[in-house]
Structure 1
């Protein structure tokens, strides 16, 4: 054996690579288990990797000697007799290696009361003494003693949820559980738990966790946000806002002044943001995501009701953008509006003109802007020229390509040239524009330095005339561009029926042009 393989760190890197490279976890686990049996040098690091991430308690229980564990008539794991100290030592050989554990209702249903009672009362201080991450997807309070057994000082991440993915119903038992987490897990950094109503009670406990970095909560109103604004360590916050959001105190404005980097806000429909964002200030935030709709069944029902009410109304997009610009600091670097659920469930078009997007011009440090779910047919080349000048740091830009209405965009090749000219850091572009042959000696082509960073542009449903000429023009602006995917899934009516074939022709031509340029380049 090579001497380098005697180093545990190198072996762990090798075993980690094996685990990451195999798509099927069962295959990777089989390979690592075989390595553990190969030689003594491999055994310990291979076992550490094999037991690092575990689902359920069955793997631990299955390590016990034959005859101690059996199945009941209902298929549940049970114990034939109480565990001896030697039996616990067998479990301990593997339990101390576990760093991440996922528990679901299905897995809890597969163990009987005898197994649970044994796990609740291990002879040592903790069942899993080195556990870092726990996902617990069950709301039944009869299992809370087992959950509490798993709470150890090494904890870094905890997710609490239900089998149906619905928010937890508040109760005395859940409040007691939350109250105990801070003392038992003083180093906890990530916490996710959604309540079915406002999470004010949860926030009271969470605000005492001085090392908490990331919080994913349920519905938060103004007082709850005010509580969290006092938590000095918090870096990212995910929460929901509903139509009963507390806006009765207009002068009561929670302000996150110096620590929060990322905010992810969900509401039933886009128009709620215009009303709710005025109640809070995120002055240090660098990334913001607004999502309309959710996959929670209760939230989906509320969202659909709101969508039906708004179907024949025009949404006040300018108010939304104004509220957004007032809520966040000009230092914001990433903005994403994810309104896919709203559009997919019959919401009215979200038309975004230059006047609507103008409030976002103050965010001069933007590196990512995602406006793909808006209809941007009214934004023309002059508007995009001004946008590009205002956001010179852009690296990712998505504009209207997810919108499925077959409307010819006002943007043309000129707008694309403006964007490339002003945003020299761009690596990703997704936008619809009218692509046709034009004079490349005129402005802005003549003043635009080609960008070699971009290899792919998503063109949505972009009308196109003369694919060969378009490919040549694109190659002049983007000499390494080879991929121009569309978002066309089925046959389109006139005059859009040939778009997909024409853009496929552009892609093939670009590959030839790029290959030819490489052959003509320096050896």
Structure 2
């Protein structure tokens, strides 16, 4: 092969185009053909082809035909395997980087897998394995693979995913726990996903305590007593990211204030129930170095208020950059109103660059928005969304407050009352030499995306279009959203809502005209609204 074709960059480019389609069974032939093309392509191609497996099917096919029998329920081994029988298995097994063992379709029974391990005579089946996933099957089932795991998980594994699959209350998970304890001491596991279940709640704290190699941890909280495990997590000074999925009743009664954690940077909390769980987690973890917090839950104002207080106590004000409270795609269908007082402690986090609060009803007026802009001058993204249909309290003047207080703001989601243009928009003269500038001596504001949701608008949309293009020259029609139902016709929506949508569509239609006029300095007499 020509020396140019041997460069890693060119090989990576070729693999990218080939293996993007290799997920389709019909296209795998192209990838396999590439592996056979020449010696230089063979091993790099095999590393991609064999990188991830969900069953042992491919390896069973590498065994001699006289050593396997095939049936509807899967393959079975016949006789005793020798080292030569496993030569091809060992060769291709060296390319496997990720293996997910799922009892639903393992392609081999635990008994037959044990036979293979014995024949390997101490050699690892996947000597270069990096990521291992295990989906638990109840103890005593014929496809219970846990006894095979110590031999299957090589020392090279650094990512472990243990799905205990909600075991029966009387199941003894001692073997699974012993395997995890072994991984803690023998492997340098940096990523761990683990179910915390009722069967062995007291052992989780001991397991997690002192696991110094962990950098990324995700816990699926399937039992009520998880506080000891979280206290152990708070002491992991090397941990960078933590995700807690709590889809059941989880009680953290009188949570102890844990030791200050100086390494945890990203925290994600997912919980369906509305309570003080997120605030209690903050109290236990005491994440001083936290830079990102995402609470995916239907939060009431009381829960938000307590969370804000705990964060101001436990997190360093200059470190926090990102906050997401709630889920915009799944907002609460009822609840009390969130006001500025509920998030007041968060105003001390002056380094925030992205804030999203999604609740049932949120009501900030122009003065509140001005205060937010002054407290968070580094904001690039702000999203304040409520599911309530109440008329917004803030107006277009809030856009100017945010733009002036947060010069880097590029994305904004905020319901506002656009029935009247702000006085600033009509009183501030536009510099003749800088038709794009919002004010003399200032660069144009950077806003590129604006979502006003179902905001009301005045009967003269050209005023709104003029205002937006005057102060936000980087904002384009496609960057403006206003809850427009493009596929619905006039008969399918109430008349008032239909008129609102028509006016916001007119705003988007008029924006290019105003932008061009401000760019050239030529203003036409009258604007075509048709």
Normalization by structure 1: what TM-score? Answer: 0.83
Corresponding residue number in structure 2 for 1:474: 468
Cα distance in 1 for partners of 2:297, 2:456 equals 29
Q: Is the 8 A contact 1:79 1:114 kept in 2?
A: no
Cα distance in 1 for partners of 2:500, 2:197 equals 47
Q: Give 1:361 shift.
A: 0.4
Corresponding residue number in structure 1 for 2:112: 115
Corresponding residue number in structure 2 for 1:232: 237
Deviations 1:392-433 (A, max 9, x none): 111221111xx3322221121110111111112222221211
Corresponding residue SS for 2:497: coil
Alignment of 1:78-97 (within 5 A): 78-97=76-95
Q: Which of the two has higher C-alpha Rg?
A: 2
Corresponding residue number in structure 2 for 1:304: none
Q: Report which stretch shifted further, 156-165 or 126-135.
A: 156-165
Corresponding residue SS for 2:397: helix
Corresponding residue SS for 1:254: coil
Q: Is the 8 A contact 2:208 2:229 kept in 1?
A: no
Residue 269 of structure 2 is aligned to residue 265 of structure 1 = yes
Deviations 1:492-522 (A, max 9, x none): 545333333433333344456567878999x
Corresponding residue SS for 2:507: helix
Which of 300, 306, 318 is residue 319 of structure 1 equivalent to?
Answer: 306
Residue 48 of structure 2 is aligned to residue 49 of structure 1 = yes
Corresponding residue number in structure 1 for 2:480: 484
Deviations 1:420-458 (A, max 9, x none): 111122222212112245252436965795656433222
Cα distance in 2 for partners of 1:165, 1:171 equals 9
Corresponding residue number in structure 1 for 2:374: 389
Which of 355, 364, 372 is residue 341 of structure 2 equivalent to?
Answer: 355
Which of 105, 111, 134 is residue 103 of structure 2 equivalent to?
Answer: 105
Cα distance in 1 for partners of 2:47, 2:358 equals 44
Alignment of 1:114-263 (within 5 A): 114-121=111-118, 122-141=120-139, 142-162=144-164, 171-185=173-187, 187-197=188-198, 199-219=201-221, 221-239=226-244, 245-248=251-254, 252-263=256-267
Cα distance in 1 for partners of 2:311, 2:191 equals 26
Cα distance in 2 for partners of 1:329, 1:169 equals 43
Instruction: Provide structure 2 residue ranges, at least 5 long, that are not aligned to the other structure.
Output: 430-437, 523-530
Residue 315 of structure 2 is aligned to residue 332 of structure 1 = no
Alignment of 1:492-507 (within 5 A): 492-493=493-494, 495-507=496-508
Cα distance in 2 for partners of 1:214, 1:279 equals 20
Q: Is the 8 A contact 1:52 1:98 kept in 2?
A: yes
Q: 1:342 to 1:455 in 2, by over 3 A?
A: closer
Alignment of 1:293-442 (within 5 A): 315=302, 317-330=304-317, 331-339=319-327, 343=331, 346=333, 348-376=334-362, 378-400=363-385, 403-436=386-419, 438=421, 440-442=425-427
Cα distance in 1 for partners of 2:176, 2:168 equals 15
Q: Give 1:193 shift.
A: 0.4
Corresponding residue number in structure 2 for 1:14: 14
Q: Give 1:372 shift.
A: 2.6
Residue 21 of structure 2 is aligned to residue 5 of structure 1 = no
Q: Give 1:357 shift.
A: 2.1
Deviations 1:339-359 (A, max 9, x none): 569745x4x325211111212
Q: Is the 8 A contact 1:215 1:236 kept in 2?
A: yes
Q: Is the 8 A contact 1:53 1:98 kept in 2?
A: yes
Q: 1:233 to 1:351 in 2, by over 3 A?
A: same
Corresponding residue SS for 1:497: helix
Corresponding residue SS for 1:495: helix
Cα distance in 1 for partners of 2:502, 2:344 equals 36
Q: Is the 8 A contact 1:397 1:429 kept in 2?
A: yes
Q: Give 1:244 shift.
A: 5.5
Q: Is the 8 A contact 1:119 1:146 kept in 2?
A: no
Q: Give 1:120 shift.
A: 3.7
Q: Give 1:8 shift.
A: 4.5
Residue 280 of structure 2 is aligned to residue 276 of structure 1 = yes
Deviations 1:247-298 (A, max 9, x none): 34x7x310333111112223443332476257422212111122227xxxxx
Q: 1:38 to 1:334 in 2, by over 3 A?
A: same
Q: Is the 8 A contact 1:484 1:507 kept in 2?
A: yes
Normalization by structure 2: what TM-score? Answer: 0.82
Q: Report which stretch shifted further, 506-515 or 119-128.
A: 506-515
Q: 1:501 to 1:22 in 2, by over 3 A?
A: farther
Instruction: Give the total of aligned pairs.
Output: 492
Q: Is the 8 A contact 1:274 1:323 kept in 2?
A: no
Q: Give 1:66 shift.
A: 4.0
Cα distance in 2 for partners of 1:75, 1:509 equals 66
Corresponding residue number in structure 2 for 1:299: none
Q: Report which stretch shifted further, 117-126 or 153-162.
A: 117-126
